Structure 1
Amino acid sequence: MTALDPALAPRELAPGLVIRQLTPPLKLSDFKLIAFDMDSTLINIECVDEIADEAGRKAEVAAITEAAMRGEIEDYKESLRQRVALLKGVTLGHLEHVYNERLQLNPGVEQLVAACQAAGLKTLLVSGGFTFFAERIRQRLKLDFARSNLLEWDGDALTGRMVDQSWGDICDGEQKRQTVLDVASLLGISPKQCIAVGDGSNDLPMMRAVGLSVAFHAKPRVRGEAKVAINEGGLDRLLEVFQG
């Protein structure tokens, strides 16, 4: 077995910023697409948990979310169906309240997105969360593409189900990976020219498929695999990897 080059071994580039299999500085313009998870990555909350709180069911839903993000639940789709079923009867007003009163962009998000756009990268939001929030975040950050799950409504109340879309039923880890690859193909670029940023185990498939994987305040399993792990500070700390 060939020994790993010491320069490529895991090391702390700066406090709270760990890199592995990388020799900075990299060149941001060498990449052409950056894909972001949404919940707990671009934004500060897990939307499904906060919607459940509006229905008085947060503890039950949050426990399933935490287990799913840690990779303790193998069937992500089923875990999401279970959580969404508990949201039956939640109103549009409740979702508006979550967006307006609870949801915030995470520190450094706007700075990182602006830097990537200035360097010519296309931007993709790909989420196991919901279109109600994802489309608003896409517009707010002027992202190029977004894919997420569509909640089903009966009037202004949730039915507890999701709606199948042209690409499939639920945006799980495999769908995230396929979406990144599909957008890369659309752009005529290699997966190695892509960056994927996430925090949970359902982000690992897309992170493994690209040239640069980034874990943001992530679960241990995700931190352990990512080429960049931001454990302290904002998402814009990724830019330190690209500085001389």
Structure 2
Amino acid sequence: MDVVLSDVRFLVVLDADSTLIRNEVIELIADEAGRGPEVAAATEAAMRGEVDFAESLRSRVRALEGVPTTAFARVLARIEPTPGVRELIEAVHRRGGGVGVVSGGFHEILDTVAPDLGVDVWRANRLNAPEGVLDGTVDGEIVDAAAKADTLTTWAAEAGVPLRRTLAIGDGANDLRMMAVAGLGLAFNAKPAVRARADLVVGPVDLREVIPLLP
């Protein structure tokens, strides 16, 4: 996503899967290949930080080989926005802030979901699909923990927002580095290792709980 944020007072950056939305998109796509449970187990291990994220993602994407891109419509129909997400985004905008999403998931889904929810800028991985069929590989550099932290830093710099006026919200180990560079790192619907290292833990799975923390 090439939109540049400008004229914002602060910046809120969310993870996508299990944060912006309730789902893990790679698991929904894997269901289309008949490999949902296998990929779900691998995703859970990656989110707990038990395996290298990039290596795990490449392995899980290989399980998607053969899925036609026409299946994305069925995946989109199953997406569930997280409770309170629209209210949070509206509150950020009312206060003059910007909202970004940086995801280890996929542009093929996020490019529809993010603008529908009012997100200002977003970044994710892309799937290779020659001739309309997934070939089991990721196109380009993988959005991992380092890329998430770099993206938050870059967006803040482009918007002229100091890092102390940024919030990062995530659930998995892949979010810890961006949570660390942000002014406030929030664990949301998070794994134990993430809750242990976050600045604050949001208990209820409702993003409206974040609104009182906005600058």
TM-score, normalization: structure 2? 0.92
**Structure 2 SS opposite 1:72:** coil
Q: Percent identity?
A: 40
**Hey, what does 1:103 align to over in structure 2?**
79
Tell me, yes or no, if the aligned pair for 1:127 and 1:147 is still in contact at 8 Å.
yes
The residue aligned with 2:53 is: 76
State the match for 1:195 in structure 2: 167
Residue 211 of structure 2 corresponds to which residue in structure 1? 239
- 5+ residue gaps in structure 1? 1-29
SS of the aligned residue for 2:154 comes to helix
What letter is aligned with 2:91? A
| Cα distance in 2 between the residues matched to 1:215 and 1:157 | 36
Shift of residue 59, structure 1, vs aligned partner:
1.6
Q: How does 1:51-130 map to 2 (within 5 A)?
A: 51-73=29-51, 75-100=52-77, 102-130=78-106
Paired residue for 1:143, among 101, 119, 126? 119
What is the TM-score of this pair, normalised by structure 1?
0.82
Cα deviation digits, residues 16-74 of structure 1 (max 9, x gap): xxxxxxxxxxxxxx96100010000011110001111111111211111000000001x
Q: Give the alignment of 1:139-178 within 5 angstroms.
A: 139-164=115-140, 169-178=141-150
- Between Structure 1 and Structure 2, how many residues are aligned? 208
Aligned with residue 227 of structure 1, among 191, 196, 199: 199
Give the SS at the match of 1:214. Answer: strand
Residues 109 and 205 of structure 1, relative CA distance in 2, 3 Å threshold: same
Based on CA coordinates, which of the two structures has the bigger radius of gyration? 1
Q: Cα deviation per residue 1:77-114 (whole Å; 9 max; x = unaligned)? A: 111000001100011222210111x1110100000010
Contact 2:189 2:202 in 1 (8 A): yes
1:12-31 correspondence to structure 2 within 5 Å: none
Q: Does 1:49 align with 2:21?
A: no
Query: Is contact 1:31–1:195 with CA below 8 Å preserved after alignment?
Result: no
After superposition, the C-alpha distances for 1:141-199 in whole angstroms (9 at most, x for unaligned) are 222211100111122210111111xxxx1000100000000111111221111000110
Q: Which has the higher strand share?
A: 1
Structure 1 letter corresponding to 2:171: D
What secondary structure is seen at the aligned counterpart in 1 of 2:196? helix
* Structure 2 letter corresponding to 1:91: P
Alignment root-mean-square deviation, CA: 1.5
Worse-superposed segment, 179-188 or 137-146: 137-146
Partners of 2:161 and 2:116 lie apart in 1 by: 26
Name 2:5's counterpart in structure 1.
Answer: none
